[in-house]
């Protein structure tokens, strides 16, 4: 059994999550209500991904970082996440703490569960997604467009768990200065460790703790995308390019891709 606790970024509320080994598919449990990952539905994408099940009896916010850790490690079975709080804790601002906790449980990775069946593209507002089938290869790319020469525009991942832990998981949540100011006005950001968040202002990139690299925002967008893909059984075997991805656009694109049969179950 592993326990992680901290403060939620968007609610400012304390949260405690127990991770324990269990038979069968990954499950989420809160307030005594339990559901498998494939039973969850996205009900909010305001600043984060919020899921619910059982008619709202189970509802948890900011699930994308922990789901990205599960995706990056290839974990689809063998663990239950017991959540005490309205959202997942921010922890280190990325997925490193989640990865370390799952690794301590010594869970066996599983094969990919999703595949791209044919080439297709989807536009959701300003966001653009391209999917291409491959022969057993996973490739996910996030491309940002902030019109900021200080930031690298792209980050990619090819399905390797060790690479995810070393390079993608440490990428911290980032925000524009005005977004942090809004959270502070609402009293929600005052308990967040500055080392867990990168703040981008017109004049400076503010960060503490770990060094900042120009591709960190793109790597975090990739991390978020992997977490959102996990809700549909991904990341898929195939190539996914996401241009200007965001939680709302990710959810809509995935819904359309599944409905159109472009993303389908994969059995190896």
DSSP-H helix ranges across the chain:
64-73, 96-104, 161-163, 177-185, 216-230, 247-259
Cα(first)–Cα(last) distance of the chain, in Å? 31
Quick: pLDDT tens for 20-56.
999 999 999 998 999 999 999 999 998 889 999 988 8
What is the pLDDT, as a whole number, of residue 187? 61
Q: What pLDDT score was predicted for residue 184?
A: 67
What does the pLDDT look like over 141-175, one tens digit per residue?
A: 999 988 899 999 999 999 999 999 999 999 999 98
220 is catalytic: no
Tell me what the mean pLDDT of segment 174-183 comes to: 76
Q: What letters, b where the CB count within 10 A reaches 16 and e where it falls short, cover 85-124?
A: bbbbbbbbbbbbbbbbbbeeeebeeeebbbbbbeebebeb
CB burial class (10 A; 0-12, 13-18, 19+) of residue 187? exposed
Nearest to 266 by CA among 68, 134, 128: 134
Active-site residue, selected from the candidate residues 10, 128, 220, 247: 247
Count of the separate structural domains present in the chain: 1
Query: Nearest CA to 3 among 85, 59, 77, 73?
Result: 85
CATH number, residue 73? 3.30.1700.10
Mean of all residue pLDDT scores within the chain:
93
Cis before residue 235, ω within 30 degrees of 0?
yes
Mean pLDDT of 60-64: 95
30: containing domain: 2-265
pLDDT surpasses 90 at 178: no
């Amino acid at each position: 059994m592993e326990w992680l606790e901290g403060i939620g970024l968007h609610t400012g509320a304390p949260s405690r999550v127990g991770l324990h080994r269990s038979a069968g598919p990954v499950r989420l449990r809160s307030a005594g209500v339990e559901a498998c990952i494939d039973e969850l539905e996205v009900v909010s994408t305001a600043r984060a991904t919020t899921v619910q099940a059982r008619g709202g009896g189970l509802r948890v916010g900011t699930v994308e970082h922990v789901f990205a850790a599960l995706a990056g490690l290839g974990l689809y079975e063998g663990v239950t996440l017991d959540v005490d709080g309205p959202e997942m804790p921010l922890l280190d601002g990325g997925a490193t703490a989640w990865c370390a906790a799952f690794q301590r449980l010594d869970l066996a990775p599983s094969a990919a569960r999703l595949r791209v069946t044919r080439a297709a593209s989807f536009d959701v507002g300003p966001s653009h997604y391209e999917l291409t089938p491959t022969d057993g290869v996973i490739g996910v790319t996030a491309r940002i467009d902030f019109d900021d020469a200080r930031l690298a525009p792209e980050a990619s991942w090819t399905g390797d768990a060790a690479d995810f832990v070393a390079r993608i998981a440490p990428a911290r949540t980032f925000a524009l200065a005005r977004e942090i100011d809004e959270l502070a006005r609402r009293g929600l950001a005052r308990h967040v460790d500055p080392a867990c968040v990168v703040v981008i202002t017109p004049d400076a990139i503010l960060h503490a703790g770990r060094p900042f690299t120009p591709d960190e925002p793109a790597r975090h967008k990739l991390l978020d995308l992997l977490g959102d893909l996990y809700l549909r059984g991904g990341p898929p075997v195939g190539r996914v390019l996401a241009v200007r991805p965001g939680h709302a656009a990710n959810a809509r694109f995935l819904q359309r891709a599944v409905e159109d049969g472009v993303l389908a179950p994969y059995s190896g």
